[in-house]
Amino acid sequence: SEPAGRTRWLKREEIARLIECLPGHLRAPAVLALATGLRRSVVLGLRWEQIDLERKVISIAGDEMKNGQNHSIPLSEIAVQTILSQAGKHPDRVFTYNGQPFDRFSS
């Protein structure tokens, strides 16, 4: 069960300010995280083989998810465009920093 508390959604203006404040290499992963609800570790570890742009879905194996279950995450147009912006930067990983995969937003 979820703890009692307030759920607060970011407003469009807040999202824009957040993205503007981030260093360039963190903007695309942050946009994808906001667009999909995926956790930081899943976004930063995302591999091209997990993405099906034709079906507009990301497939994550259970061993990579906190709850251990396989997931298929639908992609909005913003998510698709964010992923496409990373094409050609690395042969395996979607997000990189200076050409190398990274695993923390604080890099």
For residue 84, how many C-alpha atoms fall within 13 Å in the half-sphere facing its CB? 10
Residue scoring higher pLDDT (98 or 104): 98
pLDDT in tens, 8-27: 888 999 999 999 999 999 99
Three-state secondary-structure class, residue 79: helix
Picking from 12, 60, 10, 18, the residue whose alpha carbon sits closest to that of residue 39 is 60
Does the pTM surpass 0.95? The reply is no
Structural contact between residues 79 and 32, judged by C-beta atoms closer than 8 angstroms: yes
pLDDT in tens, 46-98: 999 999 999 999 999 877 767 778 889 999 999 999 999 999 999 999 999 98
Share of the chain above pLDDT 90, in %: 66
pLDDT at 105 over 60: no
